[in-house]
Amino acid sequence: MEEQAILRPHAETAYADELTVLRAQDRDVRPGGWQLSPRSVVRYIMGDTLANGTEITPKYFGDRRLIEVAVASLVTDRALLLVGVPGTAKTWVSEHLAAAISGDSKLLVQGTAGMSEDALRYGWNYARLLSEGPSEAALVPSPVMVGMREGKLVRIEELTRVPSDVQDALITVLSEKILPIPELNRETQARRGFNVIATANDRDRGVNELSSALRRRFNTVVMPLPATLEEEVRIVTDRSRAAAIRMQLPPVKQDAAAEIRRLVTIFRELRSGRTEDGRTQLKTPSSTLSTAEAISVVNQSRALSHHFGTGDIETQHLAASLAGAIVKDPEQDGAVWREYLDVVVRGRKGWEDLFEALR
């Protein structure tokens, strides 16, 4: 399949040129099994300009120290747990860490409430199991087992959605770095470079709490929401522009910064329950209103402007996309949204056109 036909290429494919240049110029010590040194991994994530003039695009806009702590955790024998509310780039960061460190972000386990231990340990090809009995050929390795054998990072998404008894299957893997296979009377031992990056959603706390034994095996890094309006505007602008390229949408004819800034302001105010100046308290909707959702609103506005408008992101396009992102529960969220329009948008200078479009 042609690369251009792929909707979302893996990080190691999309940024292959940057990773190749970084590997060629990396003179720092690389831990066993790592494709890059820890310092170069941080440069890849945060962005940099190399000595030869090559621009490394930033993958994460935020505190550099936070990424340094995450990378340093993976150098140790402890796994990494990225925790935060939805839309704080947990999955995005874990994918790029795996791409930079192992050159492979595809070893992924998606946590679900109905998950079994097979997803974390191994399964069986039952046709071969019935005909041949337990054998290496009948074994179906999990991404965790593959990562141990090949010395690569393994990503586990939404760890707190995994049933507690299944979570505990990780304890031996993370503490002893072995995965027993009693049916074959053998075990898989982890090679250098193996480790686990897990993500957990703050709003899922209490779904399946991590046991204290498992939590001790992780170094936890809390992924915060963007600290400032300017930082979040920059993230939404950058990521929506990249998404527009993937969707084969042409650049907007006029600068969309003003509309993006209004969108981010609305999301931040409703999310925090107060206006940016702190003078007015607001009710908050049930939706998370994450940065990722703001990016989706911009993408939808771009599509509307391209296919059904003039090519520019106009107020009417933003208004058409906003309500669907904010109002998830028609009763609760609808009342919150209407109050915000009346209390904030109606009287805000320069927002008269937005109020008319949203009314």
**What is the average per-residue pLDDT within 233-261?**
79
**pLDDT digits 0-9 by tens, 305-337:** 888 887 778 888 888 888 888 988 888 888 999
**What is the average per-residue pLDDT within 227-244?**
87
Mean pLDDT of the chain: 90
Q: Which pairs from 174-183 meet CB under 8 Å and 24+ separation?
A: 174/78, 174/79, 174/214, 174/217, 174/218, 175/217, 177/77, 177/148, 179/121, 179/122, 179/144, 179/145, 179/148, 181/122, 181/139, 183/134
Q: Tell me the percentage of the chain whose pLDDT exceeds 90.
A: 62
Give, for 319, the enclosing helix (H) or strand (E).
helix 315-326
Q: Which two tokens stand for residue 107?
A: 């070893």
What pLDDT shows up at residue 287?
A: 81
3-class secondary structure per residue, 286-313: CCCCCHHHHHHHHHHHHHHHHHHCCCCC
Q: Which two tokens stand for residue 245?
A: 């390229």
Asked whether the predicted pLDDT for residue 219 surpasses 80, the reply is yes
Sheet with 108-110: strands ordered across: 108-110, 153-157, 195-201, 79-84, 218-222
Please state which architecture CATH assigns to domain 3-222: 3-Layer(aba) Sandwich (3.40)
Give the pLDDT band of residue 205 (cuts 50, 70, 90): low
**pLDDT digits 0-9 by tens, 160-198:** 999 988 998 999 999 999 999 999 999 999 999 999 999
**What is the average per-residue pLDDT within 251-264?**
78
**pLDDT digits 0-9 by tens, 55-104:** 999 999 989 999 999 999 999 989 999 999 888 899 999 999 999 999 99
3-class DSSP state of 65: helix
Q: 56 has which bridge partners?
A: 48
The domain spans of the chain are 3-222, 229-358
Angstrom distances, CA of residue 74 to CA of 101, 103, 359: 9, 15, 50
What pLDDT shows up at residue 273?
A: 93
Q: How far apart are CA 235 and CA 248, in angstroms?
A: 20
**What is the average per-residue pLDDT within 19-42?**
96
Asked whether the predicted pLDDT for residue 255 surpasses 70, the reply is no
Q: Tell me the percentage of the chain whose pLDDT exceeds 70.
A: 96
The reported pTM is 0.89
What pLDDT shows up at residue 106?
A: 96
What pLDDT shows up at residue 303?
A: 86
What pLDDT shows up at residue 1?
A: 45
Q: 262 with 322: CB under 8 angstroms?
A: no
Q: How far apart are CA 81 and CA 90, in angstroms?
A: 9
**What is the average per-residue pLDDT within 290-298?**
89
Residue type, 192: R
In angstroms, the first-to-last Cα distance of the chain is: 46
Give the pLDDT band of residue 206 (cuts 50, 70, 90): low
What pLDDT shows up at residue 244?
A: 78
